[in-house]
Amino acid sequence: MLTTVFYILSALTLATAFLTILTKNPIHSAIYLVICFFTIAGHYLMFNAQFLAVVHIIVYSGAIMILLLFTIMLMNLNKEDEPNKRGLTIIAAVASFCLVCFVLLAAFLKSMPIIEEYYVSGEDYQSIKILGQVLLDEKEGFMVPFEFASVLLLVSMIGAVLLSKKEEKISV
């Protein structure tokens, strides 16, 4: 049963990832990417990592995809405005894609596992309570990076709003 769910999720993930790349309509591409993010969250649930699945849905499917859709809408992409790509550009893109795939495949085949034996301590690190204590403990000091990240996201959101505003022409 679990193997069947894994294969279905994997097929959906790969199909929506390819559709994200191959679809010409940017809105459809963004929707396929959201579906891909949800299937990846399903993989996290299969790993019994509920916190990662929820954070993945909130951060990627929620925040980043909304920003991406706003960017697509602000850019007002039209097919008429897009110039056709030359044949040399397409050949170069396909060649570089094949080269990157070859390098990744070679690295994957040559890699060796670092840890041969796993030690199980018996503690539950999947619990959100334990995870919060580990990340936000005062002696470890992870609270400051979380605050810096929130300020950075706030500043970037304000910058995006300021960049998207149209300048008004003042007529005298």
Q: Comparing C-alpha atoms, which of 25, 72, 49, 18 is closest to residue 127?
A: 49
Distances 75 to 57, 104, 125, 145 between C-alpha atoms, Å: 25, 33, 43, 32
Residue 115 forms part of a structural domain: no
Are the beta carbons of 51 and 128 closer than 8 angstroms? yes
Average pLDDT, the chain: 79
pTM value is: 0.57
Are the beta carbons of 43 and 23 closer than 8 angstroms? no
- Split into its structural domains, the chain has a count of 2
Q: Which domain holds residue 136?
A: 125-164
Residue 90 forms part of a structural domain: no
pLDDT in tens, 66-110: 777 777 777 665 555 556 667 788 888 889 989 998 998 888 888
pLDDT of residue 122 exceeding 90: no
